[in-house]
Amino acid sequence: MESNTLFNRLWLDYTASNPSARKIVDLFTAEGELVINDHIAFRTLDDPRISLETIARTFVRQGYKPAGEYEFKDKHLFARHYELTGVDDAPRIFISQLIMADVSPFIRKTLQEALDRVPQDEFSGEDLVFAKTLFDPLSYDVYSMLREESEYAAWFYVFGFRANHFTVSVNSMKKYDTLEKVNELLKNNGFVLNTSGGEIKGTSDDLLRQSSTMADIVCIGFKEGAFDIPCCYYEFAQRYTLPDGRLFGGFIARSADKIFESTNFYRRKEG
């Protein structure tokens, strides 16, 4: 698949379930900005059938190379980012995975047994990044039980393979060239930001500052009925230059740890 086709399809799927992202792009466009994508993130499990490396294959085929690695001990996650060097404006790809050896037998058994029931040829196709949830039918009870231990596991159970978030590159903005200005614009237009660890994660000394919306709430059909739960969010990244003049291209685990919480369960404010 051509890389433009791949990214367009991911974007269309993503905005279909996260309409705020399209509204935010429209908002920036109306302000005369050109929105460039800093990175796209995916979530998975370290089960060899669907591991980080399996998901990465789609991008490695496009020429992407592994770059930084990140550990999130409390959330039992490991992540790696991939870069396409030499191509201006190519988004980085950030893929995390839940470490199954570190989670409870309940999570391990629930997810692995469900994976065993999936036709195994679904795992090998290039379309795996578009596959959405692998678990059918979804159970709200299972979702709720997973969530008690791991919001990440619960999110993956319901939403699976899709872009978990796209990210606006604040560096490519003209008027909204700081995260403060971006956040102000978003809040003035009624978007809800993730405040875990503060609205802005990271400092200029980290060479990366990030903020994000809280995930849009979507209605999902479970076997017990329809329930409103958070889906995907939009992120904003402002990068700083390294001593050699290049832009820092990595990620800061401490900040990403809080950004993960943008999909934590919450209820839509009434009114």
Q: How far is the CB of 44 from Ni ion (least distance, A)?
A: 15
Using rule CB under 5 A, residue 235 touches Ni ion? yes
Nearest to Ni ion of 83, 235 (CB atom) = 235
Q: How far apart are CA 27 and CA 21, in angstroms?
A: 10
Using rule CB under 5 A, residue 33 touches Ni ion? no
Q: Which of residues 105-144 bind Ni ion (CB under 5 A)?
A: none
Residue nearest to Ni ion (CB): 235
Q: Where does this chain touch Ni ion (CB under 5 A) — which range of 6-14, 184-192, 214-222, 227-235?
A: 227-235
Q: How far is the CB of 94 from Ni ion (least distance, A)?
A: 6
Q: How far is the CB of 208 from Ni ion (least distance, A)?
A: 10
Q: Could you give the count of Cα atoms lying within 13 Å of 128 in the half-sphere of its Cβ? A: 23
| Count, residues near Ni ion per rule CB under 5 A | 2
Q: How far apart are CA 202 and CA 204, in angstroms?
A: 7
Nearest to Ni ion of 110, 255 (CB atom) = 255
Nearest to Ni ion of 46, 235 (CB atom) = 235
Question: How far, CA to CA in Å, does 144 sit from each of 138, 226, 263?
Answer: 11, 14, 14
Bridge partners (DSSP) listed for residue 124: none
DSSP 165-200: EEEEEGGG-SSS-SHHHHHHHHHHTTPPBP-TT-SS
Q: Where does this chain touch Ni ion (CB under 5 A) — which range of 37-45, 142-150, 217-225, 262-270?
A: 37-45
Residue at 144: amino acid letter: S
Bridge partners (DSSP) listed for residue 43: 96
Nearest to Ni ion of 138, 256 (CB atom) = 256
Q: How far apart are CA 264 and CA 211, in angstroms?
A: 15
Q: How far apart are CA 193 and CA 200, in angstroms?
A: 10
Q: How far is the CB of 163 from Ni ion (least distance, A)?
A: 10
Residue at 268: amino acid letter: R
Q: How far is the CB of 166 from Ni ion (least distance, A)?
A: 9
Nearest to Ni ion of 142, 173 (CB atom) = 173
Q: How far is the CB of 231 from Ni ion (least distance, A)?
A: 15
Bridge partners (DSSP) listed for residue 77: 72, 98
Distance of CA 101 to the CA centre of its chain: 23
Answer for the pair 163, 231: CB distance below 8 angstroms, yes or no. Answer: no
Q: Three-state SS for 67?
A: strand
Q: Where does this chain touch Ni ion (CB under 5 A) — which range of 40-48, 63-71, 172-180, 242-250?
A: 40-48
Nearest to Ni ion of 143, 155 (CB atom) = 155
Q: How far is the CB of 165 from Ni ion (least distance, A)?
A: 6
Q: How far is the CB of 142 from Ni ion (least distance, A)?
A: 27
Return the structure tokens found at 87: 């191509």
Return the structure tokens found at 221: 């059909």
Q: Which of residues 71-110 bind Ni ion (CB under 5 A)?
A: none
Q: Where does this chain touch Ni ion (CB under 5 A) — which range of 23-31, 39-47, 106-114, 180-188?
A: 39-47
Binding positions for Ni ion, rule: CB under 5 A: 41, 235
